[in-house]
Amino acid sequence: MERFKLITGYIPGIIGRIAELHALYYSEYWNFGKFFETKVATELSVFLNDFNEDKDQIFSLSIDERIEGSISIDGSSENENAAHLRWFIISDELKGKGAGNKLMQQAIRFCEKNGYNSIYLWTFQGLDSARHLYEKYGFSLSEEKTGEQWGTIVTEQRFDRVIKV
């Protein structure tokens, strides 16, 4: 039995909590700092302010009313009919409990239902558990380059998934 509750859409506190989850994880394991936390909070705020329910969605998982995981589909891509998977994170509380699978399934189902031809995401080398999940759900590495969009130099990776029509 799942210990967590799936929430679709905005709820009060979601921006702060998702930014917090990202900041704490990436600070502890990757030494990311203030730049990264403010980037997540700012971009997530813009996404939710411009939210279009026909193109965008945010899913979160909570335990006892506290958000412990999230994933978003951003339909404002520069590529027509391509969805951008963003802000995918789960807390230590949910690791190993099927939460990542649940969020990924919801995101892909939303994209299929809303007529997207493909889904893409940006990540970086070294996030092996996340990469395993992406590949499990049909994403393939399509681009790799050195960059610093996260505020520190990493090997950035783009993964793409074609949606079967």
pLDDT in tens, 81-126: 899 999 999 999 999 899 999 999 999 999 999 999 999 999 999 9
Q: Are strands 154-162 and 118-124 parallel, antiparallel or unpaired?
A: antiparallel
For range 63-89, the mean pLDDT: 92
Q: What are the strands, taking DSSP E only, across 2-153? A: 5-8, 57-63, 66-74, 82-90, 118-124, 140-147
> Residue 162: CB partners within 8 Å, gap ≥ 6?
117, 118, 138
Could you tell me the residue ranges of all domains in the chain? 5-118
CA 137 – CA 122 distance, rounded (Å): 15
Q: For residue 161, what is the enclosing H or E element?
A: strand 154-162
Q: How confident is the model at residue 149 (pLDDT cuts 50, 70, 90)?
A: confident
CATH of domain 5-118: 3.40.630.30
